[in-house]
Amino acid sequence: MESFYNQKTFDFVCIATKNENFTKMELKYCKGDYKKEFLEYLAEIFETDPKYSDKCMATQYILKNQIMIINDINSVNFPNKKLLKQIIDNNFHSALFIPIYKNGKIDAGIGLCVKYKNYFNKVCLSIFKEIKEDIEYAIKKIEDYTLLDLLKEAIDKTYSWILITDENANILYANKSVEEISGYKAEELLGKNPRIFKSGFHSIRYFKIMWDKLTSNIPVETVIINRKKDGNLFYLKDKIIPVFSHEGKKYYISLGEDITKEKILEEKLKEDFLTKLPNRNEFIYKILNSIDKKETYAFIIIDLKDFKIFNQINGIEQGDYILRKFAEFLKTFFHTEDIIARIGADEFAVFIKYKSLDEILSIIKNFNTKIKTLEEFQNKIAVNIGIALYPNDDTDIVKLLDKAYLALELAKEKGEFTYEFFSSQINEQILKYTQTKNLLKTALKNKEFIYYFQPYVDSKNFKIVGAETLIRIKHNNKIIYPNSFIDYAENSGFIKTIEKQMFPKFLEYLQQINIPLSFNISGKSLTDEEHIKNLFKKIHNLPINIELTEREIAGDIEYTKKIFNYFKNKKFRLSIDDFGTGYSSFSYLKDLPADYLKIDISFVRNIENSKKDYAIVETIIDFAHKFNMKTIAEGVENINQLKLLQNAECDYIQGFYFYKPMPFNEFKSLL
Ligand code: C2E
Ligand code: CA
Ligand code: CA
């Protein structure tokens, strides 16, 4: 003890560390009073290879991670005699060796020699033990800190976006890149949810799929469109990894890369090649980037009706030509600040600012008229339009697009040049249409269409003069009336197929009776000359009465005249149905060789109470007689109506007062 404190310095101090390959120890530092050769031998004692353990005492201690103390060189049985000689030559008597461990393995060693015996006692052993532990602890700390510092530095300096959240998606860390890309300072982000970057581009479904994976500890790779603090958008190629800490806490690490520039370039390339209009993604991107939340906008989707068929008939080249022309037309029709895009093969979309619904309505009317009348589109294409309104219907642009699509779907069901606004009942409406579509399909397939017969009588003697065939569907022994399917059948074009199926039946019935039968022809069929000619091919000179509604014939007078003459040549009779409900233009009647005018049920219904309606009925009848036409009053339900019509000299009466529509068997026995 005494000698330890009195001694000013050790006679020899050395430090050895592991060599680069970690195979053995190398002397790094030697100081003191020693002979040169001593070092060579000393090196040997630092060999940690167990194969030296019987040759070297130090190795034995190193392997056991114990401090070695020798207090009298002569008293130990030194296995390495050469080394022993060196030690004695240098006159060292006491020696101490401290192995320094790191991560459970020898990392360095400190050796001390003194020229006295019994220099190191028990007390100093405990001091050196403490020193050993301190050094080991310090080395570990130093290394940990340097590693952490380096990592932190690296994370901060990297160009990649690194964001860490806790399990509840509260932001715990955001690196410099996040600050630079998003424009938010890290302090503004800490504790917030990454929703702060939400752009509105992605659907709820998108996030649901993402979170389903993350909560099941599956990493997610995605390209997400986010919004910066200044409102601009950026594309982030993001990998989100769920990780667990030692204590089992869950974190999410988002490793991202700003790929906005690349994406914009890509989108440019993806711009619709044919029409040079933005595509769907670009369209939404543009809207999100330019929308002013204080304004009102209309999201309009325009669909070219049956464009596939147009392509099939006219060829792809002609189809492409029309699409290009259509795109050009859109650009001239709408304003430059409106966003126009081609969002599907035959679907275009426009995003326009508007002030009032009337404004949109007049735009759409105008638009439809242009398509109907411009030479390049006339009779070539027809459109349907679906509209959803911002912010009324939704403030989420993607959802708004979906809603405009729903509106479009409904419009498509309603025929050509129809438009629909999104409404909250739209799903039910569409459902109704699909149900009707299915009803018609099964009815056609299973031949469920049948005719009911409603006789009409002479107004003077009440004798049956003829009967009108009225269609029904007989499904599971239930009778379905035309009010639930006829509009749809006419607008969808199903009516032609129905007529093809039913006209032969009509002829069969006609042969079994001896009065004229009326056949209702839809306006939609009437305009298809080929269909009409096919339907009535080879039919001549039969007591058939063709009923056409007034609305339909008032459209294209020249064409209607042609069709009228076609029927006249076949010696059919012609009735103008629902007279008074259409344009009621008497003028065209003088050019159309009709045989009957059917006075619409709405006049008959009011005839008792309204002098005006009675006057109209009188006028119609007078007028008809002047042009050699006879009149049939529809929907006569009581004797008062009958008397008034008799007074007005109506020729024939149809209505429940005499007969309700009935199945053929009943009708036949009645006759
Ligand atoms: P519509 O051609 O005007 O047929 C007359 C409708 O008035 C029939 O209805 C008939 O049942 C009903 N009716 C007759 N007398 C009375 C009455 O006294 N009171 C009342 N309240 N109603 C009366 P239905 O059979 O339901 O047919 C409705 C419409 O469906 C028809 O109107 C017609 O536009 C269409 N339709 C019926 N069958 C066919 C068809 O085979 N082809 C085409 N294209 N349309 C058809
Ligand atoms: Ca009719
Ligand atoms: Ca009618």
In ligand 1, which atom is closest to the CA atom of 521? 44
DSSP result, 258-287:
E-HHHHHHHHHHHS-TTT----HHHHHHHH
Task: Please confirm whether the linkage preceding 593 is cis (ω < 30° from 0).
Answer: no
Contact 439, 459 (CB under 8 A): no
pLDDT band at 159 (very low <50, low <70, confident <90, very high): confident
Higher per-residue pLDDT: 18 or 607: 607
Higher per-residue pLDDT: 470 or 5: 470
Least confident span in 115-129, 190-204, 593-607: 115-129
For 449-505, the pLDDT digits (tens) are 999 999 999 999 999 999 999 999 999 999 999 999 998 898 888 999 999 999 999
Residue 554 pLDDT greater than 70, yes or no: no
Q: Which of 534, 536, 616 is nearest to 579 (CA)?
A: 616
Alpha-carbon span 222 to 207, nearest angstrom:
11
Residue 73 pLDDT greater than 90, yes or no: no
Measured torsion, CA atoms of residues 359, 412, 524, 485, in degrees rounded to the nearest 10: -120
For 222-254, the pLDDT digits (tens) are 889 999 999 888 999 999 999 998 888 999 999
For 120-156, the pLDDT digits (tens) are 887 888 888 888 888 888 888 877 777 778 778 888 8
The pick from 486, 488, 492 for probing ligand 1's pocket by mutation, whose C-beta has the most ligand atoms within 8 angstroms, reads 486
pLDDT band at 52 (very low <50, low <70, confident <90, very high): low
Contact 248, 166 (CB under 8 A): no
Contact 156, 117 (CB under 8 A): no
For tokens 């390495």, the residue is 80
Highest mean pLDDT among 75-79, 147-151, 261-265, 368-372: 368-372
Q: Which ligand is nearest to the CA of 522?
A: 1
Helix (H) or strand (E) segment spanning residue 143? helix 122-157
Tell me, what's the pLDDT at 585? 64
Mean pLDDT of the chain: 88
Alpha-carbon span 305 to 257, nearest angstrom:
42
Tell me, what's the pLDDT at 15? 85
Percentage of residues in the chain having pLDDT higher than 90: 55
In ligand 1, which atom is closest to the CA atom of 470? 38
The structure's pTM equals 0.58
Ligand 2 centroid – CA 465 distance (Å): 15
Residue 657 pLDDT greater than 90, yes or no: yes
Query: Contacts from 388-393 at CB under 8 Å and sequence distance 24+?
Result: 388/298, 388/299, 388/421, 388/422, 389/296, 389/297, 389/298, 389/299, 389/421, 389/422, 390/291, 390/296, 390/297, 390/298, 390/299, 391/293, 391/296, 392/296, 393/422
Higher per-residue pLDDT: 518 or 34: 518
Residue 542 pLDDT greater than 80, yes or no: yes
Contact 349, 402 (CB under 8 A): no
In ligand 1, which atom is closest to the CA atom of 481? 26
Tell me, what's the pLDDT at 625? 93
Residue 106 pLDDT greater than 60, yes or no: yes
Tell me, what's the pLDDT at 108? 84
For 399-457, the pLDDT digits (tens) are 999 999 999 999 998 888 999 999 999 888 888 989 999 999 999 999 999 999 999 99
Least confident span in 97-111, 200-214, 282-296, 352-366: 97-111
Higher per-residue pLDDT: 556 or 671: 671
DSSP 198: B
Tell me, what's the pLDDT at 3? 46
Nearest protein CA to atom 20 of ligand 1, as residue: 635
Tell me, what's the pLDDT at 2? 43
Tell me, what's the pLDDT at 12? 87
pLDDT band at 48 (very low <50, low <70, confident <90, very high): low
Which amino acids bring their CB within 6 angstroms of ligand 1?
Answer: 454, 470-471, 481-483, 486, 495, 520, 522, 577-578, 634-637, 654-656, 661
For 611-632, the pLDDT digits (tens) are 999 999 999 999 899 989 999 9
pLDDT band at 43 (very low <50, low <70, confident <90, very high): low
Nearest protein CA to atom 41 of ligand 1, as residue: 471
Nearest protein CA to atom 17 of ligand 1, as residue: 635
For 303-336, the pLDDT digits (tens) are 999 898 888 888 888 899 999 999 999 999 999 8
Q: Hey, is 547 helix, strand or coil?
A: strand
